[in-house]
Structure 1
């Protein structure tokens, strides 16, 4: 089992596979007061930038799990380039539980693995030590969107998202939110990745679909996504 190729094509130049900048990821690490030896599990870890840079900057240790062979290979290369000891596992993160309880368990930008935020918190909680921190990255509506924007996804507002986690038995203890500029860096960079792939592979079987995507995605983004859709990483601790 592996991710479809169009995902890896869009993300080919990215190290962070979400609308987060290097600075925002670093801010999150500092906000969590990470210390050497802090243990992490990152489900749907992508290219492992969270684990790798936090290991470099804070001395954390941990394991990442992702379905994509391409992303896991890139994560291992990143760890080697930074000289950090981080383990990456290629496989389905939706049922993965750490062998030993960890200090922080995260799923940043892929809560579909648990059927949504609450289900993903339940999954992360199975790997957490008592008092450990769960990190979830999730989109939310910044303001009520027009009807045409609702096709982007079944999201809720930020207050509704916070209420949802509270009612599921978790305390929100930190958060770092993306902004329009970080959304641009994530989404617009995908367009260049797609265009370069098309230029280099005009006869690929995915070319017609990607050509259509490149012709429609930028206008859709600036019209319906950029003005209305937020995203953030939320740190939560389960209530006793």
Structure 2
């Protein structure tokens, strides 16, 4: 199975592709859109558009643009937007996020759990800088080390290196040194991580159980079992996730 198909199946019951509850997402979005009745939002790596659709539903005066390489995910985003009645306020682009350009800046740029598309947190900040309107806000979510990672944790994260991430204090220092001010932040709880990972692996495994004759069933089950072991025996309790709301200095 290709990575995009695995991700779509794994997020069937957890459309926010990050360890965040619906309540946390609502709270973060409320802060991100506060004080702006009419605005424009851009999600770089939007997947099925979960963040943008929630933002549009809560803010009737906003418009949104989503960018992603997964055509099937964008099709689901369009269908969901139509069902919510916000399809006229969202534009979706099948494009590498690194190649996206716009003639008008955005009041809010999002990249939560998709900084890998730019090669990490700091390159993501650089890409977002040129897309933000003066006074605009950036919502970015990325990983950090809660404690020194073991080799099992690094292996469980796909062969990550210790220097790929830093602790929360150092990560925040790097963001500030790059010219951004955190005006809000949220660190995902262990419960949110557990819910997310069990949902990810469980949704994928359940699909395999329900489609035993599908040619990808065995691959899906193998991916679910492997990911579960990598999490439980590797990075659980070591790898954290922080969502920053940032403004330029």
- TM-score of the pair, normalised by structure 1: 0.90
Give, in whole Å, the separation in 2 of the partners of 1:212 and 1:141: 27
Structure 1 residue 162 displacement after superposition:
0.6
- For 1:49-99, what per-residue CA distance to the aligned partner results, in whole angstroms no more than 9, with x for missing partners? 211111111232211111111211121122222222222222211221222
Structure 1 position 142 matched with structure 2 position 142? no
2:235 aligned with 1:225, yes or no? yes
Q: How does 1:157-196 map to 2 (within 5 A)?
A: 157-196=167-206
Query: Quick one: which of 78, 81, 90 aligns to 1:79?
Result: 81
| Partner residue in 2 for 1:29 | 29
Instruction: Give me the whole-angstrom Cα distance separating, in 1, the residues matched to 2:5 and 2:195.
Output: 21
Q: In the alignment, which residue of structure 1 is the partner of 2:44?
A: 43
Q: Deviations over 1:140-185 (max 9, x none)?
A: 1112222321222332211111111112121122112211122122
Q: Take 1:23 and 1:164, find their aligned partners in 2: how far apart are those partners?
A: 28
Residues 34, 58 of structure 1: 8 Å contact kept: no
Quick one: distance in 2 between partners of 1:100 and 1:24? 29
CA distance in 1, matches of 2:117, 2:177: 20
The answer as to 2:114 corresponding to 1:104 is no
Output the CA distance in 1 between the equivalents of 2:49 and 2:224: 27
Q: Residue by residue, what CA displacement relative to the aligned partner does 1:3-43 show, whole Å, maximum 9, x if unpaired?
A: 64222222233321111111111110222315321211111
Aligned partner of 1:14 in structure 2 is 14
Q: List alignment gaps of at least 5 residues for structure 1.
A: none
* TM-score using structure 2 length: 0.87
In structure 1, distance between residues paired with 2:170 and 2:151: 19
Q: Once superposed, what is the RMSD of the aligned Cα atoms?
A: 2.0
Mark the runs of 5 or more structure 2 residues left unpaired by the alignment.
Answer: none
Q: Distance in 1 between matches of 2:5 and 2:136?
A: 35
Q: CA–CA distance in 2 between the matches of 1:214 and 1:62?
A: 33
